Structure 1
Amino acid sequence: MRDVVIKRFFIISVSLSLFFVNTYSQMKLDLQQSIMLAKDSSLQAFRTQNLYLSSYWEYRSYKAGRLPSLTLKTTPIQYNRDFTKRYDYESNIDVYRKQQSLYSYGNLSISQNLDFTGGTFFIDSELGYMRNFGENTYSQFTTVPFRIGYSQSLFGFNSFKWERKIEPLKYEKAKRQYIYNSEEIAETVINYFFNLAMAQVEYDMALDNVASSDTLYKIGESRHGIAAISRADLLTLKLEAVNARNTLKNTEISLKRAMFNFVSYLNMDKETIVKLTLPDRPRDIDIDADDALRYAKENNPDFLSYKQEILEAEREVDRTRKSSTFDASIYASVGFNQVASNFTGSYHHPLQQDIVSIGLTIPIIDWGVRKGRANMAKNTLNVTKISVQQKILQMEQDVIMTVNDFNIQKDLIGSAEEALELANLAYESTRERFIIGKSDINSLTMALSRQKEARKNYISALQNYWLSYYKIRKMTLFDFEEQRMLSDSFDEMMNIHR
């Protein structure tokens, strides 16, 4: 709950920051804030939410189908005036006679589907009215005050039973898929974040390099004036200054492109300028491959998808197998009915109404069509099971390899950080030595190149670390920092987006 409050507070803060963006043209974001904002406001987040809501309403429809339903079927009024063919028994011929009638009908029923048997239980009541006009004008009311009945297929396919197995599984998969997609958003924004961070660092380095190269060129001019350096070295320093300005222009273009991609993905105003804060060296997190694999099997929506594939293939086997043999259906109802010339009389002393119907469907000759479909369904089930086994093995391998990559990246960050510190010290030392004339231009250029490379390597190491970490989170739906299932906060997550 604490995380939810923090997330809400951050989203409100960012919204206010964006509201005043014209006054304050620059805002600061760190990695976690960028991830939270992307999960809440990006177009991909809206798509993820709507995909889940589609599955949610599909599940609600399934649950509603298991509840009793109240239905009114009615023909409020039907008027006929035409000539119809009738048999004249006196003349033993068919003749056309004028007919004029008024008809009205209504049926109110409560029905309940039964998952276990696949049948439908119902209770209903009917009222009908008919009036004929002409030489023999008369009216009749017919009623069924109460009737109770049941119908089902005795040996046929029970769709309700399979829905009870598959639909809750589909909904649970949809919930986990929502969390999975949210973690996928985190992966995407991490790439945009570090692409922008790299562009900003390169731009800052280019600015520093322009100032430094101009200073060194001026120093070089002074030293050349006293013949302390050669004209070739002076020209090299001038070339470095020119190249530094060209590099600055190129890095500015790259920075604008990276900034546009970042703010566009977060669905922010295109004129927003964001200054990123690089994350500190992450705390030491130990992830065991066996634990990650266990969490993946428990939580990953792909494993539920594999189970759903097998159930749907088994359902098709059951459907085709039962359609290839004979089937019997039964309909039975017990109630009361009456007919009278007035409304009150139609409910007076109703007579018992009993209806029992048994239907048979027996395939005799179909030239092997049903049998062929049944065998195709069995073969499809076998193929599905083999395919699922292959997918599970691939998933297990991906989890293990990702954990191994993460553990390696964790060590690489320390090495990259140490290399950056050494490169900074080496450049400053070489620069100072050059200024006092104890180092040549080649050593200075090489030290600067190593410093740039060390900075890029450090940012790349951070990017690879966080990508590996969030990929593990996505595959396992487990927060290894807080040691909790990501699904634990699912309801709170959905409340934020509603």
Structure 2
Amino acid sequence: MDMNRLRIQLFCLLLLWAGGLSLSYTHAQAPMTIEQALDIAEENNPDLKAAKLNLERYQHNLVAQRASLKSRFSLDLNPVNYSKSRRFDNRLSQWYTNETLNTSGTFMVSQPILMTDGEISLINTFGWQDNKSTVEGRDNRNRAFSNDLYLRLNQPIFTYNRRKMELQQIEFDYENAGIRYALQRLNTERSITNQFYAVYMAQNNLSISKEELENTKQSFDIIQNKVEADLSAREELYQAELNLANAQSAVEERIVSLENAKDQLKQTLGMALDDDVEVTVEIDVSPVAIDLVQAVQSGLNSRMEIRQREIDIELAELQMIRTKSLNEFRGDISLSVGIIGDHEKFGSMYDNPTQNPRVAISFAVPIFDWGEKKARVKAQKVAQTIAKLEQENLQIDIELDVRQTWRRLENLRTQIDIAEKSVRNAQLTYDINLTRYREGDLTGMEINQFQTQLSNRKIAYAQALINYKIELLNLKILTLYDFENEQPIVPVREWTGTKY
């Protein structure tokens, strides 16, 4: 039996040494606070990085669209154009040979008009040509410079402003991307907080299990001395050995749970799984007076999801305008005025200029579309109704979530008080019964039950504190209001000078 006890003790020491070795790297690391974890996730979390890149993409689209509304400058060059062909002149009913060599360039400045969806352009075409025609053996030749300068206006009529609507569409997309990024930040904060507290709880459970192991080892030493002094039955020593083995097994299980919780946290933070991490947090739960009416009103006024539904409604309105434009009656007006001059000498091109006004009006008149436009308009009206219903349902869901979270917080405050008293009572009960155990009034199985009760009470108290902090965070996210510091929160950061 002495050899068995020795083997058990050596086995326990080896397991403790292995557990300490597995945590040695953890203790070598500086503990991470929850603020540091959120900063790491800001740079490394995959979902948050994707949302940020998506926001950046829409921002570039918006910059490009606004740039397209400014004046555009272009230059088209045709350095050399040579051709020689045999043609038939219908007016004179004879064939002739034409040989042409020319060079030209066109410079254009165009300015889109956002208010009317039109475009005004200043165009200048300068060129030189050497043109030769041979008719029945006679040569006609012209070498001259030419310049055509004119101002042109293109304006669609009887239709919607496509350019303005396209800008609105991109602005809505950009705002929506900003909201999704802000929501992803809040969701990431919630996920990290939950997993951070999970690691903290696993560390706390491991600490409690180690404390339980020390108490069980103390009980084992007590009963071992009593058995050796023939003051207790040897069966009590067997039970003590079993309690000690179970306590050591509990420590090993807690170590496994801690490592698994760390891996989950590292994955969310975007860290390498080989990195080690240890968390530290001060859970100071002080009563927070929260007014339910204020919480609900803050949620309805501040939640970004409501703005998303408003954007959906506005986008549906834009889509209705596009739908109604199917097979529409529309027109286009093109006006231009300018002068053109030509001469063999460059400086004399405008000695005898010619005005060249142009006017063009065109219409597109639909006749019959077999009811396509009417059906599509009805479908879009249904889509608008759905968007409005989703907005109304979202407001109801927000109010329900705030109410339920507020009730859970009130209940958790009571549970914390009860759990704190339970820990205090369990500790006093254990201390009293440990004395009885030393005096031989309790068996090893009975003192183990009191030890387990104490450990469970400590775990329940820590979990109650964490549950309260998590629910308080949930309420902050639901209402976008920090009730601990009594100030609204704005999860929207400045993005290159634009708030989204």
TM (norm. structure 2) is 0.82
Alpha-carbon distance between aligned partners in 2 of 1:432 and 1:33, rounded to the nearest angstrom:
45
Equivalences for residues 107-186 of structure 1 within 5 A? 107-115=107-115, 117-132=116-131, 138-147=142-151, 149-163=152-166, 165-186=168-189
Asked which structure has the greater CA Rg, the reply is 2
* Aligned position for 1:46: 49
Does the 8 Å contact 1:263/1:270 carry over to 2? yes
Does the 8 Å contact 1:210/1:245 carry over to 2? yes
Considering only aligned residues, what root-mean-square deviation do their CA atoms show, in Å?
Answer: 3.3
Alignment deviations for residues 385-419 of structure 1 (CA, whole Å, 9 cap, x no partner) = 22332233223322332333334334433433333
Alpha-carbon distance between aligned partners in 1 of 2:160 and 2:31, rounded to the nearest angstrom:
61
What residue ranges of structure 2 are gaps of 5+ in the alignment?
1-23, 134-138
Alpha-carbon distance between aligned partners in 2 of 1:430 and 1:231, rounded to the nearest angstrom:
20
Counterpart code for 1:214: K
> Which one of the candidate residues 65, 68, 71 is aligned to 1:69?
71
Q: Does 1:86 align with 2:83?
A: no
Alpha-carbon distance between aligned partners in 2 of 1:311 and 1:172, rounded to the nearest angstrom:
12
Does the 8 Å contact 1:26/1:272 carry over to 2? no
Post-superposition shift, 1:360? 0.7
Post-superposition shift, 1:238? 0.9
Q: Using a 3 Å threshold, how does the CA distance of structure 1 residues 146 and 333 change in structure 2: closer, same or farther? A: closer
Equivalences for residues 266-277 of structure 1 within 5 A? 266-268=269-271, 270-277=273-280
Question: 1:274 is paired with a residue of what secondary structure?
Answer: coil
Alignment deviations for residues 341-362 of structure 1 (CA, whole Å, 9 cap, x no partner) = 4443345554333222211111
* Aligned position for 1:329: 332
* Aligned position for 1:11: none
* Aligned position for 1:13: none
Alpha-carbon distance between aligned partners in 2 of 1:306 and 1:23, rounded to the nearest angstrom:
46
Equivalences for residues 486-497 of structure 1 within 5 A? 486-487=489-490, 490-491=493-494
Counterpart code for 2:74: L
Counterpart code for 2:88: Y
Question: 1:276 is paired with a residue of what secondary structure?
Answer: coil
Post-superposition shift, 1:364? 0.9
Alpha-carbon distance between aligned partners in 1 of 2:407 and 2:423, rounded to the nearest angstrom:
24
Q: Using a 3 Å threshold, how does the CA distance of structure 1 residues 329 and 91 change in structure 2: closer, same or farther? A: closer
Post-superposition shift, 1:58? 2.7
Question: 1:337 is paired with a residue of what secondary structure?
Answer: strand
Counterpart code for 2:108: L
> Which one of the candidate residues 370, 375, 378 is aligned to 2:378?
375
Post-superposition shift, 1:158? 1.8
Q: Using a 3 Å threshold, how does the CA distance of structure 1 residues 81 and 353 change in structure 2: closer, same or farther? A: closer
Post-superposition shift, 1:160? 3.5
* Greater displacement, 242-251 / 30-39: 30-39
Alpha-carbon distance between aligned partners in 2 of 1:392 and 1:371, rounded to the nearest angstrom:
32
Question: 1:366 is paired with a residue of what secondary structure?
Answer: coil
Post-superposition shift, 1:146? 4.6
Alpha-carbon distance between aligned partners in 1 of 2:223 and 2:106, rounded to the nearest angstrom:
103
Aligned-residue identity in percent: 20
Q: Using a 3 Å threshold, how does the CA distance of structure 1 residues 93 and 124 change in structure 2: closer, same or farther? A: closer
Does the 8 Å contact 1:183/1:473 carry over to 2? no
Q: Does 1:101 align with 2:101?
A: yes
Q: Using a 3 Å threshold, how does the CA distance of structure 1 residues 422 and 89 change in structure 2: closer, same or farther? A: same
Alpha-carbon distance between aligned partners in 2 of 1:22 and 1:349, rounded to the nearest angstrom:
92
Alpha-carbon distance between aligned partners in 2 of 1:432 and 1:38, rounded to the nearest angstrom:
50
Q: Using a 3 Å threshold, how does the CA distance of structure 1 residues 143 and 454 change in structure 2: closer, same or farther? A: farther
Does the 8 Å contact 1:176/1:299 carry over to 2? no
Post-superposition shift, 1:331? 2.0
Does the 8 Å contact 1:150/1:331 carry over to 2? yes
Alpha-carbon distance between aligned partners in 1 of 2:349 and 2:438, rounded to the nearest angstrom:
116
Post-superposition shift, 1:78? 4.5
Does the 8 Å contact 1:420/1:455 carry over to 2? yes
Post-superposition shift, 1:239? 0.7
Alpha-carbon distance between aligned partners in 1 of 2:193 and 2:204, rounded to the nearest angstrom:
16
Alpha-carbon distance between aligned partners in 2 of 1:419 and 1:176, rounded to the nearest angstrom:
45
What residue ranges of structure 1 are gaps of 5+ in the alignment?
1-20
Alpha-carbon distance between aligned partners in 1 of 2:382 and 2:421, rounded to the nearest angstrom:
59
Post-superposition shift, 1:187? 0.8
Does the 8 Å contact 1:324/1:371 carry over to 2? no
Q: Using a 3 Å threshold, how does the CA distance of structure 1 residues 89 and 58 change in structure 2: closer, same or farther? A: closer
Post-superposition shift, 1:328? 1.7
Q: Using a 3 Å threshold, how does the CA distance of structure 1 residues 398 and 159 change in structure 2: closer, same or farther? A: farther
Q: Does 1:205 align with 2:186?
A: no
Alignment deviations for residues 73-129 of structure 1 (CA, whole Å, 9 cap, x no partner) = 41343534464x62144884778x5755334322221313323x3323333433344
> Which one of the candidate residues 311, 315, 333 is aligned to 1:312?
315
Q: Using a 3 Å threshold, how does the CA distance of structure 1 residues 244 and 191 change in structure 2: closer, same or farther? A: same
Does the 8 Å contact 2:336/2:357 carry over to 1? yes
Post-superposition shift, 1:186? 1.2
Number of positions where the alignment pairs a residue of Structure 1 with one of Structure 2: 469
Question: 1:275 is paired with a residue of what secondary structure?
Answer: coil
Alpha-carbon distance between aligned partners in 1 of 2:273 and 2:171, rounded to the nearest angstrom:
42
Does the 8 Å contact 1:114/1:121 carry over to 2? no
Does the 8 Å contact 2:26/2:276 carry over to 1? no
